Chains A and B, each alone.
Chain A
Amino acid sequence: MVSLSPALPAVPTVVARSPGYWSGVFTRLSRDKLAMAALAILVLIVLMAILAPYLAPADPAKATMLRRLKPIGTPGYPLGGDELGRDMLSRLIYGSRLSLIMGVTPVPVAFVIGTILGVTAGYAGGFLNTVIMRTADVFFAFPSVLLAVALSGALGAGLLNAMVALTIVFIPPVTRIAEAVTTQVRSLDYVEAARTSGAGAAKIIRIHVLPNVLGPVFVYATSLISVSMILAAGLSFLGLGVRPPEAEWGLMLNTLRTAIYTQPMVAALPGIMIFITSISFNTLSDGLRSAMDVKA
């Protein structure tokens, strides 16, 4: 039965609080063993990149022609030597730095830009929506690898150009997802209710739209990191990314191509690193997706 006591003075009430949405997500994620294993591997790879100078047994740039293409297990060269006689283990450790920077950076940048564009298009609707979304459609008309190659090919080889190209590749899909979710959220009654309270667009977007849009867009963006890692290393593999003699996994794969006849195991090593990183990002992203899917 409804109790209708007269207006109470506003006394601070001790309130039982439910755990928030994100804490629920992290609890569920932490129970996902596969995702946690992937996270552990990624933490190790990041640590490897940060601590490279302390971990690497040798100078990754020191070439010795006498020790070219040594097999795995050569004394002093635990993972062999590359085509210029440089220590593979050290180069793989150092390679994680540029590979991670090049592969990961474009995604958060594209996430921020794409979300701003998508939410703007979705909330504003009308002409602004048409301009933003039709432009995104044009970029969508290019297969992602082609667009990345075309842009970095036109901009010229180089780490920064490759990263710019990848960012441009990932902005349209993020924009499209953000726009779709925003359009959907915007028509929900709670946004209408917020409008009846007289709140301005900025406040409604901040409190009511963004918190409900960011989740799905974030999950989508995390799934892009794996793609980005492969594409970034691929650009270096094509000679469009990092320039020799820098250590980067994709570039190492390229320069070791001729070694497949003499030292196939050594030649395949950088690819294994790309593979492990990419599959870990993918698994973590999948775990995050199912951890977030529980309740809308």
Chain B
Amino acid sequence: MLSYVLKRMLLILPVALGVSVVCFLLVHLSPGDPLTAILPTDASAETQAEMRKLYGFDQPLPVQFVLWLGRVLTGDLGTSIATGRPVAFEVGRAVVNSVILAAAATLIGFFFGSLFGFVAGYFRNSWIDKLASFLAVIGVSVPHYWLGMVLVIIFSVQLNLLPATGGGPNGSSDARSLDWDYLRFLILPAVTMSVIPMGIIARTLRALVAEILSQEFVQGLTAKGLLDRGVFAHVVKNAAPTAFAVMGLQLGYLLGGSILIETVFAWPGTGFLLNTAIFQRDLPLLQGTILVLAMFFVVLNLVVDVAQAAVDPRVKRS
């Protein structure tokens, strides 16, 4: 087991390196001198030359990459142009909010998704199955940013039950607590976001449950009249690892894909930060945020793989 974990960790190193190359090149992908992305437009010629040397922009690209990677590994993601604060600080603050939102959405999505998927797979081809499958298709087809707007229209504008935007009362987001004053801000974005994993988990579970039920020995149990509790336990035991693996990956997708929903709800997370970075042409902030999110996703993949191998020894061999 330990050797498997080490092997998997070694395998993600090249991927992590590739991810950092892509993030590094993002700045060079954008039109114009990368320096203009780092300096305010009214910087003097001396400052420009100084910065060019400091950041190594006078060096060839591979050298620049090594220098940049060295700084990143020591935790220096550069300085945000928009706020003047270190990128690492900005991302660190935002990522907590994003994780809260994505985790809440994943839990909601997982609960309802597995419920729908399980029922649909168990009563295959019944009306419940058709309804659940239909809901699942809606879940993966709905433009979630639009769904967010619709929920805001219903629950904030029309019913005035929940706040439309923001991460907490008085626009604050740092003094988090589990109290209702804060939680009510989380409900709409989390529910909106949960629609995506809900559809995917429902689809996965439906197929999985149906497959397990069609196995010969399960059919044998059913034929013997030993249905229900035994079969139910068997299905849960066999479907759970895959369901949790899908859930883990969905958490990563939501974290990386939260930008649209965070923009709709002005949720002070990484997505919102990205939005700011893009429109203020704050490339260090853009680069840093994307790097952190992508690395988070890579590590999450590793955790899911290892956890799955721990539960199901067959995974290790393949």
Contacts and interface: CB of A to CB of B under 8 A. Distances in A.
Do chains A and B directly touch (beta carbons under 8 Å) in the complex? Answer: yes
B139 to A, nearest CB: 10
A154 B30 contact: yes
Contact of B140 (A135, A239, A282): A282
Nearest to B11: A137
B132 interface: no
A125 interface: no
A264 B152 CA distance: 10
B256 A142 contact: yes
A150 interface: yes
B297 interface: yes
Interface string A140-162: 01111110011101111000000
B158 interface: yes
Contacts of A264: 153, 157-158
B297 A260 contact: no
Nearest to B30: A154
A14 interface: no
A234 B283 CA distance: 21
Interface stretch (A43-51, A81-89, A205-213, A266-274): A266-274
B297 A143 contact: yes
Interface string A273-287: 011001101110010
B143 A239 contact: no
B149 A260 contact: yes
B136 to A, nearest CB: 10
Contact of A143 (B257, B263, B264): B257
A193 interface: no
B66 interface: no
Contact of A138 (B19, B29, B138, B274): B19
Interface residues of A, number: 45
Interface in A227-275: 230, 233-234, 237-240, 250, 253, 257, 260-261, 264, 267-268, 270-272, 274-275
A279 B146 contact: no
B259 A283 contact: no
Contact of A141 (B15, B144, B283, B286): B15
B150 A271 contact: yes
B18 A154 contact: no
11 contacts: A137-B18, A138-B22, A141-B16, A141-B294, A153-B274, A234-B145, A238-B278, A257-B149, A257-B264, A275-B141, A282-B141
B313 interface: no
Nearest to A137: B15
Nearest to B295: A141
B108 interface: no
User: Top 3 closest A-B pairs, CB basis?
Assistant: A271-B146, A143-B256, A138-B18
A150 B290 contact: yes
Interface in B1-41: 14-16, 18-19, 21-23, 26-27, 29-31
A275 B143 contact: yes
Interface of B: 14-16, 18-19, 21-23, 26-27, 29-31, 137-138, 140-147, 149-150, 152-153, 157-158, 252-253, 255-257, 259-260, 263-264, 274-275, 277-279, 283, 286, 290, 293-294, 297-298, 301
Nearest to A234: B260
B318 to A, nearest CB: 13
Contact of B29 (A143, A145, A151, A234): A151
A134 interface: yes
Given A141-B294, A143-B256, A135 B18 contact: yes
A195 B192 CA distance: 54
A240 B153 CA distance: 25
A252 to B, nearest CB: 11
A278 B142 contact: yes
A226 B142 CA distance: 9
A154 B32 CA distance: 11
B256 A145 contact: yes
Contact of B263 (A154, A238, A261): A238
A141 B141 contact: no
Given A156-B30, A271-B143, A149 B255 contact: no
A67 B99 CA distance: 43
Contacts of B152: 260
Contacts of A240: 278
Contacts of A270: 146
Given A156-B30, A279-B142, 9 more contacts: A138-B21, A141-B18, A143-B253, A146-B290, A153-B286, A234-B260, A239-B278, A253-B146, A260-B153
